[in-house]
Amino acid sequence: MIYLDYSANTPVDPRVLEVYCRTEQNFIGNPNSTHCAGQAARQEMNRVTGLIAAQLGVLPEEIIYTSGATEANNLALKGTARAARHVGRHIISTPLEHSSVGATLTALQQQGYEIDLLNIGRDGRIDLEQLEELLRKDTVLVSICGVDSELGTVQPVREIAALVHRCPNCRLHVDATQAVGKTALWLDCVDTMSFTAHKFYGSNGIGVLYKRKGLVIEPQMNGGASTTIYRSGTPTLGLAAALQAALALALDEQPQRCACVQALHDTLCAELQKRPGVRINSPASAVPHIVNVSVAGIKAGVFQQALSGQGVCVSVKSACSTDGTPSKAVFAVSRDRKNALSSWRISLSHLTTEEELNGFLAAFDRCLKDLQKEK
């Protein structure tokens, strides 16, 4: 098998798994319990949270643990919007967002919130002038994905934040799911930011919502003590410790990992551009981990399944997207619906080898030859 879908899920780093197992074995108490085992677990939970906060340059009380980025996005958007509903009900976002953002915005729209989506330029970035025009006194939230999951486009978050924070009642949420370990983060200029461990070689089942101190959001779950009033439920100490270990590795090793991925990316793109009918949709400024391609006249799902038959794993749009619809991100940058229907994503890792890349290209050539015969 050749795995090239690291933006959907990454394997747990053995060093991270070892931390999880050791923590689960050594701390058996519920951190909410008042006996000695529970208090030992609570002390360790506080230590782990302090390390995560220090790694991110934020305060421990600004860390909210969730089950993943989907829950973190739901909590950020619903919690912020509902807490500010007496101020206004206008929200601005983009057509590039993950379904956990898009579906949440739809749910809020059905509750009377007004949603505006920003235009996307040919470089995959939002239109800053349009954002400035759309901001109003009753705008309470702007939600942006820091790195687009389909194209790898890095949004100008600091410029966005400067515009948003001119409005005293408006808050900025950034979905950083695809950003951790790939690019610089923006915690000093955002109000909330979401990410999840399984995108950077941590465990599935845990994410984080950073919430700036002093910002009030409305909790989405009730009952059950936890590490914060904003998200109830028994603290998952083993998963938190594993997330901390994965985050430390991702940040410490980011330069080496990114350099490795950049070399793989450059080789891959150079080779793909030699193939007839192949179009690379990811802009030059995108993170090198994501390469979005189209093959003229061949639908994305058909090519993906052909590659899967060859033992190669790539994805059509993001793992949580609706099948059979054109990629909104690719349509935004290409203005070509057929091209958007033919687009699919290769996502690379520092774990990807040159042998795997060569194996992928060989499988690509076989699939291209067979599918062009069928046309």
167 included as an active-site residue: no
Rounded to the nearest 10°, the torsion over CA 365, 2, 149, 285 is -60
Residue 167 has pLDDT above 90, yes or no: yes
Mean pLDDT of all residues in 120-127:
93
Strands 278-280 and 207-211: unpaired
Q: What's the confidence (pLDDT) of residue 228?
A: 85
Give Cβ neighbours of residue 49 (< 8 Å, ≥ 6 apart): 60, 63, 227, 240
Structure-model confidence comparison of residues 258 and 276, the more confident one? 258
Look-up: residue for tokens 């949603």? 115
Q: Mark whether 357 and 313 lie in a shared domain.
A: yes
Domain that includes residue 318, residue range: 2-9+254-374
CATH code assigned at 144: 3.40.640.10
Among the three residues 202, 237, 252, which one is the final residue of a domain in this structure? 252
pLDDT of residue 222: 79
CA 363 to the chain's CA centroid: 28
The domain that holds 331 is classified in CATH as 3.90.1150.10
Two tokens, residue 216: 């009030």
The reply to whether 280 and 151 lie within a common domain is no
- Give residue-wise pLDDT tens across range 305-326: 999 999 999 999 654 455 567 8
pLDDT digits (tens, 9 = 90+) for 358-369: 999 999 999 999
Quick one: pLDDT at residue 234?
A: 86
What is the layout of strands, in order, in the sheet containing 139-145?
63-66, 207-211, 192-196, 171-175, 139-145, 90-93, 114-117
Question: How high is the pLDDT of residue 297?
Answer: 92
Q: Break the chain down into helix, strand, coil percent, rounded to 5.
A: 45, 15, 40
Contact 279, 336 (CB under 8 A): no
Q: Do 92 and 167 touch, CB atoms closer than 8 A?
A: no
> Which member of 167, 269, 313, 320 is catalytic?
320
> Is the separation of the CB atoms in 366 and 315 below 8 Å?
no
pLDDT score at 318: 52
Q: What amino acid is encoded at 87 in this protein?
A: V
3-class SS of residue 272: helix
285 and 141, same structural domain?
Answer: no
User: Same structural domain for residues 220 and 269?
Assistant: no
- Cβ-contact 193, 187 below 8 angstroms: yes
Same domain, 288 and 307: yes
Q: Are the beta carbons of 119 and 127 closer than 8 angstroms?
A: yes
pLDDT at residue 335, rounded to an integer: 87
Pairing of strands 171-175, 2-3: unpaired
> Is pLDDT of 304 > 80?
yes
pLDDT at 204 > cutoff 90:
yes
Last residue of a domain, one of 233, 252, 271: 252
Q: What is the mean pLDDT of residues 214-238?
A: 86
> What confidence score (pLDDT) does residue 322 get?
54
Residue type, position 198, single letter: H
Please answer whether residues 187 and 209 qualify as being in contact, where contact means their C-beta atoms are separated by less than 8 angstroms. no
- The single-letter code of the amino acid at 250 is A
Shared domain for 275 and 170, answered yes or no, is no
Phi, then psi, of 7 in degrees rounded to 5: -75, -20
Q: Looking at the structure, do residues 77 and 140 belong to the same domain, yes or no?
A: yes
On whether both 247 and 264 belong to a single domain, the answer is: no
Report the percentage of the chain scoring pLDDT > 90. Answer: 88
pLDDT of residue 120: 92
Of the three residues 252, 282, 309, the one that is the final residue of a domain is: 252
Q: Taking residues 23-49, what's their average pLDDT?
A: 95
Query: Under a CB-based contact definition with an 8 Å cutoff, are residues 290 and 7 in contact?
Result: yes
Extract the tokens encoding 273. 């551009």
- Asked whether the beta carbons of 160 and 172 are under 8 A apart, the reply is yes
pLDDT score at 332: 85
Give CA separation, 41 vs 44, 57, 67, in Å: 5, 24, 19
Tens digit of each residue's pLDDT (9 = 90 or more) over 51-100: 999 999 999 999 999 999 999 999 999 999 999 999 999 999 999 999 99
One-letter-per-residue 3-state SS of 88-110? CCEEEECCCCCHHHHHHHHHHHH
247 shares its domain with 287: no
Domain count along the chain: 2
Task: Kindly state whether residues 168 and 309 are assigned to the same domain.
Answer: no
Q: 244 and 283 in one domain?
A: no
The percent of residues above 70 in pLDDT, for the chain, comes to: 97
Q: Are residues 196 and 309 in the same domain?
A: no
